[in-house]
Structure 1
């Protein structure tokens, strides 16, 4: 059932990103929405903000069951604090956080394998989690989410869920996700996809959740279109333009590693919030986002997944038709 909508402003706490703390004037609050609002109003907010932060769209128990299954799967890597329940996802601080690196977009050059030999067992298990039944066949096919997105987009039976997903954790103290927008990774298809970011568990304001750049979808579209126009003016083909754009990105397709400086440069705030199991954020392919460093005071591991939807009647990036794998070219 939907949770009560909270709208608490950022507290006096410091929120850390890869290039240092975000100053108070650099932060705002993510606008929450109830899923039962009229569709026209939800669509208006999505177009206006570039995101739709839906409170309690999914059943909390469904999300917590998947969270428990994930950490039970990863338990042999010694990631969990002894004597705690898997669903809590409390990090074993006797470990070095670097041995439990995040995987996914922007973690290494060309989506390579993160970490060294000390991280091998954890990384193998984290990758294998993408193909486990409780994730691939249950969470990724959640009927409440699919039904809402099909209705919200108006795609109906043409809606397709992309098989490639990103199931990512964030252990306390590790580097956060850098600045990017999703079309960077979906450029071999039209810019009509919808991403659903699903926090798998409660995430405190200090817990490393996603942060969204204010009016970032407008800036992302401008960055993309400006580069494309310059490439076309130089006589490049579409494929040459894509390659040139990617060559000018940072490692892993990032616009920047540090959100603090990026926000200052573009005079935009980063919007933060706390998340609860059952919440979902939908965002556009140009919505610029990142994450904070997980500084949760109780050492709770941040867990979330990126699920993406397309209109199958339109051209879409076929590279996303396979399960996530290191070095898969995306």
Structure 2
């Protein structure tokens, strides 16, 4: 999907300026050799695969999701659930994200919406049909070299809806949340539907995998110099994050501070992006002109023959501490 580099890209701390973002480069898994795909992930920290999943299968899961949430009143009356169009006459505060607070502290409308969004993680049209799609499992087994026997899709996934004009995901890298295993996990971000370049998709920091590894190594060296054990170092590092676990909420300032551009694009149903556990990324604020809700999920794959963060072996739930 072509992007317009002159069109403003909004993040939590304002628009990215011209020259502060560039295009995320796609790869065609049908024509690019596997060794070259592996090189691109290693060199760039991400691998943007076009059309690897059957579009109709992704849209089937999207339709099922919004049908499941439709009784909460989130959708525009009379619209097709697969379009995921937000009812712009409603207050967005009635439809909070899945990680913004405790259910018991929410108003009844918000409780219903969040409960449905949480329950969706366990539904077969998502947990089985999408998260364990045979095309994805086969590709990951071959791409990683782990084989089907050791290619393990973690049960804990993050199925997120991003309603227009709500807060976006802050700057982070995934090893922050997976420190109780080796840093070998691969994240697969799956946009469940088409996402306009202004529609809340993921953005990646150019060379962010190197910077993320630098942050981790620098802190670990300091922690060990101060006599901390590995376990104490993990806890100390996490205390330096924001309460949500991110490095900062503001991608624009972060990119300027480190002199790096953000890589952006529009996505289509069937695309996925692989990224390494140290790759720094965030998301844009959803400014879709048609009020389309961005729906996407984070899947993680590990080599089951190696130590992995077993806290991720169960479905996501509020307050699970991960």
SS of equivalent residue, structure 1 residue 141: coil
Query: Unaligned stretches of 5+ in structure 2?
Result: none
Residue matched to 1:3: none
1:235 aligns with 2:227: yes
Residue matched to 1:142: 133
Question: What is the CA-CA distance between 1:113 and the residue it aligns to?
Answer: 5.3
Deviations 1:98-147 (A, max 9, x none): 2212224xx56xxx559831411101110010001111121111000111
Deviations 1:164-200 (A, max 9, x none): 0000010000000000000000000000000000000
Seen in structure 2, the aligned counterparts of structure 1 residues 84 and 308 have a Cα distance that, compared at 3 Å, is same
Query: Unaligned stretches of 5+ in structure 1?
Result: 1-5
Deviations 1:261-299 (A, max 9, x none): 000111111100000000000000000000000000000
Deviations 1:18-46 (A, max 9, x none): 11111111111001000121011101110
SS of equivalent residue, structure 1 residue 305: strand
Residue matched to 1:322: 314
CA distance in 2, matches of 1:322, 1:197: 19
Aligned with 1:15 (options 9, 21, 25):
9
Residue matched to 1:152: 143
CA distance in 2, matches of 1:286, 1:79: 35
| Number of equivalent positions | 319
8 Å contact from structure 1 (residues 183, 286) kept in 2: yes
Seen in structure 2, the aligned counterparts of structure 1 residues 219 and 115 have a Cα distance that, compared at 3 Å, is farther
Residue matched to 2:118: 127
CA distance in 2, matches of 1:224, 1:192: 14
Q: CA RMSD in A?
A: 1.3
1:177 aligns with 2:172: no
Question: What is the CA-CA distance between 1:10 and the residue it aligns to?
Answer: 3.3
Residue matched to 1:40: 35
Deviations 1:1-28 (A, max 9, x none): xxxxx5x353322111111111111111
CA distance in 1, matches of 2:105, 2:166: 12
Deviations 1:199-256 (A, max 9, x none): 0000001100000000000000000110001001110000100000000001111000
Deviations 1:33-87 (A, max 9, x none): 0012101110111011100000000000000000000000000110000111000
TM-score, normalisation: structure 2 = 0.97
Please list, as runs of the form range in 1=range in 2, the aligned pairs for 1:31-180 lying within 5 A after superposition. 31-36=25-30, 37-104=32-99, 107=100, 116-117=106-107, 118-156=109-147, 157-180=149-172
8 Å contact from structure 2 (residues 3, 266) kept in 1: no
Question: What is the CA-CA distance between 1:97 and the residue it aligns to?
Answer: 1.1
